[in-house]
């Protein structure tokens, strides 16, 4: 499994060396989890923990991109802040997270604006001339004079994403109660998870962009928190990320 993810990341970074539509960046992430210690299907905002990440995005189509990502964060939970205060033993935990993965993104709005401009003779102005400013008076397809600057690309791009990642975790569990039953599985230290996200990108100029993304992800384990009180449900991860990127 580790070999598979290493090969996938190597492929993505090989694309980065030759791509003309690439972005690299850093993120500041707020991590949370839902599981046996959270007591709710919704994230407990008081247990949000700060993490950091790095990404590479390749825009292979005006509507589609692939993204490789590396993330480092932390999650935590406490029975005393949930509806589980009647269980024995009470549990609180914290765990580091190291995630490596990839995602496919779909731009709901294409970044490229499909709009054509013409000169006074009805000849279409090339995108190269529009970008360089090498044009005179512009006209639209109906022959009306364009008084504003030509818009070639959108600044705001909403998107959705779907991916797969491998997470390495190491829960530290504290028990308080009369029971000596240990629910944790110390042998499990990694799991696959499948992030589903929605976000928006803002292209400030030809070099820099800002982005905001909200993600939730089912995992294939019930032991991220070191506890398994129910065998029919697995733990979930969630995060909100603010990121900055550079285009090259």
Residues 6+ apart with CB under 8 A from 68: 8, 9, 12, 13, 55, 56, 101, 102
CB 4: neighbour CB atoms within 10 A? 9
Rounding to the nearest 10 degrees, give the CA dihedral for residues 24, 20, 4, 169. Answer: 10
Kindly indicate the confidence band of residue 6, based on its pLDDT and cuts at 50, 70 and 90: low
Among candidate residues 76, 30, 75, the one with its CA nearest the CA of residue 53: 30
How far, in Å, are 184, 219, 246 from residue 207 at the CA level? 48, 35, 6
Residues 6+ apart with CB under 8 A from 176: 89, 90, 91, 92
Question: Which of the residue ranges 39-43, 50-54, 150-154 has the most confident prediction, judged by mean pLDDT?
Answer: 50-54
Query: Are residues 184 and 171 in contact, defined by beta-carbon separation less than 8 angstroms?
Result: yes
Tokens of 21: 């539509």
Q: How much is the pLDDT for 16?
A: 44
Query: Are residues 248 and 230 in contact, defined by beta-carbon separation less than 8 angstroms?
Result: no
Q: How much is the pLDDT for 79?
A: 80
Per-residue pLDDT reduced to its tens digit, 177-197 = 655 444 566 678 999 999 999
Domain ranges of the chain: 2-110+155-247, 113-152
Q: How much is the pLDDT for 184?
A: 60
Residues 6+ apart with CB under 8 A from 212: 199, 200, 240, 241, 242, 243
Measured CA to CA, the distance from residue 144 to residue 116 in angstroms comes to: 12
Of 130 and 247, the one with more pLDDT: 247
Per-residue pLDDT reduced to its tens digit, 208-231 = 999 999 999 999 999 998 888 777
Distance of alpha carbon 31 from its chain centroid, rounded?
12
In the numeric block, the tokens 């975790």 are attached to: 169
Q: What fold, for 2-110+155-247?
A: Porin (2.40.160)
The chain-wide mean pLDDT, for the chain, equals 86
């Amino acid at each position: 499994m580790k070999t598979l993810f290493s090969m996938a990341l190597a492929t993505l970074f090989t694309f980065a060396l030759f791509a003309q539509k690439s972005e690299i960046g850093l993120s500041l992430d707020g991590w949370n989890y839902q599981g046996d210690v959270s007591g709710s299907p919704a994230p407990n905002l008081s247990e949000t923990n700060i993490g950091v990440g790095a990404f590479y995005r390749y825009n292979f189509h005006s509507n589609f991109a692939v993204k490789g990502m590396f993330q480092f964060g932390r999650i935590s939970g406490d029975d005393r802040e949930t509806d589980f205060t009647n269980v024995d033993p009470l549990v609180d935990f914290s765990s580091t997270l190291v995630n490596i993965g990839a995602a496919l993104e779909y731009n709901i709005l294409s970044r490229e604006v499909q709009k054509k401009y013409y000169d006074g003779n009805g000849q279409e102005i090339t995108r190269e001339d529009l970008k360089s400013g090498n044009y005179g008076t512009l006209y639209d397809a109906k022959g009306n004079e364009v008084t504003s600057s030509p818009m070639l690309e959108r600044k705001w791009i909403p998107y959705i994403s779907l991916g797969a990642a491998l997470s390495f975790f190491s829960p530290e569990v504290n028990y308080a109660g009369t029971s000596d039953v240990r629910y944790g599985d110390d042998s499990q230290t990694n799991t696959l998870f499948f992030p589903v996200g929605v976000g928006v990108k803002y292209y400030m100029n030809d070099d820099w962009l800002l982005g905001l993304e909200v993600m939730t992800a089912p995992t294939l384990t019930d032991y991220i928190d070191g506890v398994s009180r129910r065998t029919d449900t697995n733990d979930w991860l969630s995060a909100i990320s603010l990121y900055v990127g550079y285009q090259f």
